[in-house]
Amino acid sequence: MNFKGEFVNVLYDALDGQLDKIKLKHMIEQPKFDYMGDMAFPCFELAKILRKSPQVIALEITERLNTPLFEKVEAVGGYVNVFLQKRAVSSIVINQILSQKEDYGRVNIGEEKVITIDFSSPNIAKPFSMGHLRSTVIGNALALISEKAGYQPIRINHLGDWGTQFGKLIVAYKKWGNEEQVKQQPIKELLKLYVKFHEEAEKLPTLDNEARNWFKKLEDADDEAISLWKWFRDESIKEFSKVYELLGIKFDSYHGEAFFNDKMDRVVTLLEDMKLLQESDGAQVVPIENMPPCLIKKTDGTTLYATRDLAAAMYRQETYHFAKSLYIVGNEQSLHFKQVFAVLDKMGYAWQEGMIHVPFGMILKDGKKMSTRKGKVVLLEEVLKDAIALALKDIKEKNPNLDHQEEVARQIGTGAVIFHDLKNYRQNDIEFSLEDMLKFEGETGPYVQYTHARAASLLIKGNYQARIENINIHDEAWPIISKLIAFPEIVQRAMEEYDPSQIAKYVIELARAFNKYYGSVRILDDNEQKQERLALVYSVKVVLNEGLRLLGIEAPEEM
């Protein structure tokens, strides 16, 4: 049952339909303190419509609200405060979770429509650095959340496997590369060559021209250029797959930039036919109101990211018929996506309205952006392995008899890294600190995982017998029930705002509420309330497990 929805319905009736239900739903607030109730409706906006004081309106609404789910309704300072009937509501919520299990919290705002999610998208021939963590874990979480919200997600890894950087890499390899060394440590050696190119190009600017020439050869399908490019690409994907395996992430498509090479002429032709292209200093551009023009072809005839992204958008719409298309790409690309979406709009494609850039802040090192070209890079695989090693050390010290120690250490270590990212609002920058990331107390993934494992242990010790019945939960459990009630709405808000941190903050709050309960109530005492208390524990375990899953984190049964 949706208790907020019930409040909306009775408010709608009390106001004789003067505000629509969507508006009412957005107006309902969560009071700051328990003594102010479980939900509150502010009447200040209605004062203008009804020409009465908010206090008078609150009193009038209070007199007209009537539902057995409300224990008390009061008018305070222009607010209608509602107190839910604790025992009846607790029984309803726990029975919902017992019957629905992991389906609890599912909302069908997506109506089974397709949503494409472009995320991770590392550049080949470069290491999978901490800089790629954000797009990877935010995108994966949004894919999982969108599925929970009723969409059909298509996960796309739009690999950076084309562009002038490959001209630079080919020049560097031909001048300073060693085939055997590259074969032994491909990514490490290719990064070294890439960094060396930039160091040398500062002294010898003509290297940039050589790189541009080699990239032009690559675009013209020169045999040597293509052969080197394929080698760099194959070795890179092998390395990336190790990281994705550790994180438990899979993709439906690895079509990178190169895949769209033969699809860009069509874009240029369409733009010409629609008379949208103009020449500007020898380049081809599409003018856009209130924005710089969108560059489609450079003076030397080479294409740009915009051309490629236009081709990719058209291909994805024709292939998947998406209702929404998300691009999980950093803040610094905001203008680029505004231009691409604006060009599609000028082309008359109504479906571009479903295209959304989901920006995020950077991971900083010592307050500065990590730069591959300067060699200031922290490898994501190494960070994950360090986190797993630390988790294993912790297990061996605190629970040496634990079964499957390596597997649990992987779940805890990768969970710590993912949670450290996703607990932050995505647009904020995050300072990289291995020490903070690997802490196992406070607002961390391992804290939530440990709470889940504690719940699992209690269920085994208490010999919990899952059954649906009239459950009589006492008032000390109400903070937990309040959190459980909120889960479906949190899922919906995380989807609507493309913000996985809503889920991360939620599971921390639920874990805290449960641990406070655990510290004050003797859950396993043998009396008539034991199975009811264990039903609450089971409900918490289900929702913590599902909340972590939506973040791309596993929940061990033991730790």
Q: Per the domain annotation, does 470 fall within a domain? A: no
Taking the C-alpha atoms of residue 288 and residue 296, their distance in angstroms, rounded to an integer, is 12
Task: Look at residues 557, 559, 554, 556 and name the one whose alpha carbon lies nearest to residue 144.
Answer: 554
* Cα separations in angstroms, 38 against 190, 288, 479: 58, 49, 10
Average pLDDT over residues 48-74: 92
Strand 355-358 to 324-328 pairing: parallel
Quick one: DSSP state of residue 45? H
Tell me what pLDDT residue 305 has: 85
Can you read off the two tokens belonging to residue 240?
């990336």
Partnered with residue 115 across adjacent β-strands are 153, 324
Tens digit of pLDDT for each residue in 27-40? 999 998 888 999 99
Average pLDDT over residues 383-389: 92
Contacting residues for 477 by C-beta, under 8 A, at least 6 apart: 90, 517, 521, 533, 536
- Of 323 and 472, which is predicted with more confidence? 323
Taking the C-alpha atoms of residue 176 and residue 140, their distance in angstroms, rounded to an integer, is 38
Taking the C-alpha atoms of residue 95 and residue 112, their distance in angstroms, rounded to an integer, is 26
Taking the C-alpha atoms of residue 6 and residue 14, their distance in angstroms, rounded to an integer, is 12
Average pLDDT over residues 305-320: 96
CATH of the domain at 70: 3.30.1360.70
Residue 554 reports pLDDT greater than 90: yes
Q: Per the domain annotation, does 449 fall within a domain? A: no
Domain boundaries, position 60: 3-84
Q: Per the domain annotation, does 248 fall within a domain? A: no
Q: Give backbone dihedrals phi and psi of 326, rounded to 5 degrees, phi first.
A: -100, 140
Using pLDDT thresholds of 50, 70 and 90, give the confidence band for residue 232. very high
Within 10 angstroms of residue 42's Cβ, the number of other Cβ atoms is 16
Positive or negative, the CA dihedral 141, 144, 146, 151 is positive
Using pLDDT thresholds of 50, 70 and 90, give the confidence band for residue 73. very high
Within 10 angstroms of residue 181's Cβ, the number of other Cβ atoms is 13
- High-pLDDT (> 70) share of the chain, %: 97
Using pLDDT thresholds of 50, 70 and 90, give the confidence band for residue 183. confident
Taking the C-alpha atoms of residue 89 and residue 107, their distance in angstroms, rounded to an integer, is 20
Q: Which residue has the tokens 């510290």?
A: 519
Tell me what pLDDT residue 371 has: 58
Tell me what pLDDT residue 301 has: 67
Q: Give backbone dihedrals phi and psi of 154, rounded to 5 degrees, phi first.
A: -115, 115
Tell me what pLDDT residue 302 has: 65
Taking the C-alpha atoms of residue 414 and residue 397, their distance in angstroms, rounded to an integer, is 19
Partnered with residue 82 across adjacent β-strands are 39, 73
Can you read off the two tokens belonging to residue 181?
């060394």
Strand 430-431 to 363-365 pairing: parallel
The total domain count for the chain is 1
Tell me what pLDDT residue 164 has: 84
Taking the C-alpha atoms of residue 498 and residue 359, their distance in angstroms, rounded to an integer, is 10
Task: Enter the pTM of the model.
Answer: 0.91
Residue 372 reports pLDDT greater than 70: no
Q: Per the domain annotation, does 351 fall within a domain? A: no
Tell me what pLDDT residue 527 has: 83
Q: Per the domain annotation, does 8 fall within a domain? A: yes
Taking the C-alpha atoms of residue 559 and residue 454, their distance in angstroms, rounded to an integer, is 8
Taking the C-alpha atoms of residue 67 and residue 320, their distance in angstroms, rounded to an integer, is 45
Tens digit of pLDDT for each residue in 408-421? 999 999 999 999 99
Taking the C-alpha atoms of residue 325 and residue 356, their distance in angstroms, rounded to an integer, is 6
Tell me what pLDDT residue 375 has: 55
Taking the C-alpha atoms of residue 541 and residue 532, their distance in angstroms, rounded to an integer, is 14
Taking the C-alpha atoms of residue 465 and residue 85, their distance in angstroms, rounded to an integer, is 26
Within 10 angstroms of residue 283's Cβ, the number of other Cβ atoms is 16
Q: Per the domain annotation, does 153 fall within a domain? A: no
Residue 440 reports pLDDT greater than 80: no
Using pLDDT thresholds of 50, 70 and 90, give the confidence band for residue 125. confident
Can you read off the two tokens belonging to residue 407?
């597997």
Please report which residue ranges of 321-367 form alpha helices under DSSP H: 334-346
Taking the C-alpha atoms of residue 503 and residue 550, their distance in angstroms, rounded to an integer, is 8
Residue type, 296: I
Task: Give the CB-side neighbour count of residue 312, counting CA atoms within 13 A.
Answer: 28
Task: Give the CB-side neighbour count of residue 332, counting CA atoms within 13 A.
Answer: 5
Using pLDDT thresholds of 50, 70 and 90, give the confidence band for residue 303. low
Residue 365 reports pLDDT greater than 80: no
Tell me what pLDDT residue 373 has: 53
Q: Give backbone dihedrals phi and psi of 152, rounded to 5 degrees, phi first.
A: -110, 100
- The pLDDT mean for the chain works out to 92
Tell me what pLDDT residue 34 has: 84
Can you read off the two tokens belonging to residue 20?
């629509």
Q: Per the domain annotation, does 301 fall within a domain? A: no
Taking the C-alpha atoms of residue 237 and residue 246, their distance in angstroms, rounded to an integer, is 14
Average pLDDT over residues 222-233: 94
Contact 491, 145 (CB under 8 A): yes
Tens digit of pLDDT for each residue in 82-118? 999 999 999 999 999 999 999 999 999 999 999 999 9
Q: Per the domain annotation, does 12 fall within a domain? A: yes
